[in-house]
């Protein structure tokens, strides 16, 4: 009787982990907008649930359209040189969408400086 190698068995397990990078629990406010939603502008706010170099999982105010490009902005908890507040700004594609949560595969990101006394104000999203 033939047996499967451990590598092949992993492929047949239900819901194998498909991420190439690790995700870490991370709870911060997030703002998002769906790009090219001219008729019905889809924008909102939520909280990050986890994040890694390859993606971000966060709560949403509505179900986001699967496969669409999204921009997200997160007020970063660390400060540049211990003084200057930062904002993480990323763009990517919605790869998982539920009624009140979404996962976005990060395609591009940058850190921007922000005013420390105005969280969420002056949100600048990447074009």
Return the domain boundaries, the chain.
20-113
What whole-number distance in Å separates Cα of residue 10 and Cα of residue 44? 38
Structure tokens, 13? 């397990």
Select 20-113's CATH number: 1.10.10.10, 2.90.10.10, 2.40.10.220, 3.30.70.100: 2.40.10.220
Are the C-beta atoms of residues 106 and 55 closer than 8 Å to each other? yes
Looking at per-residue pLDDT, the higher value among 8 and 52 belongs to 52
Q: Which of 75, 71, 76 is nearest to 35 (CA)?
A: 71
Q: What is the pLDDT of residue 44?
A: 97
Paired with 69 in beta bridges are: 93
Name the pTM for this structure. 0.72
What whole-number distance in Å separates Cα of residue 116 and Cα of residue 83? 9
Are the C-beta atoms of residues 11 and 18 closer than 8 Å to each other? no
> What are the pLDDT digits (tens) for 16-74?
555 456 667 778 999 999 998 777 899 999 999 999 989 999 999 999 999 999 999 99
> What are the pLDDT digits (tens) for 75-102?
998 889 989 999 999 999 999 999 999 9
Residue 14 pLDDT > 80, yes or no? no
Residue 105 pLDDT > 50, yes or no? yes
What whole-number distance in Å separates Cα of residue 29 and Cα of residue 72? 10
Q: What is the pLDDT of residue 38?
A: 74
Q: What is the pLDDT of residue 117?
A: 57
What whole-number distance in Å separates Cα of residue 15 and Cα of residue 2? 24
Looking at per-residue pLDDT, the higher value among 34 and 123 belongs to 34
């Amino acid at each position: 009787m033939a047996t499967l190698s451990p590598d092949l068995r992993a492929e047949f397990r239900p819901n194998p982990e498909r991420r190439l990078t690790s995700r870490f629990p991370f709870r911060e406010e997030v703002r998002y907008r769906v790009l090219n939603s001219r008729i019905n502008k889809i924008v909102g706010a939520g909280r990050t649930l986890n994040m890694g170099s390859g993606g971000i999982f966060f709560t949403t105010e509505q179900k986001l359209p699967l496969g669409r490009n999204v921009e997200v902005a997160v007020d970063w908890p660390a400060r540049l040189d211990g003084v200057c507040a930062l904002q993480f700004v990323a763009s990517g594609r919605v790869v998982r969408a539920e009624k009140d949560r979404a996962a976005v595969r990060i395609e591009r990101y940058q850190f921007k400086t922000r005013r420390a006394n105005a969280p969420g104000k002056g949100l600048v999203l990447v074009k």
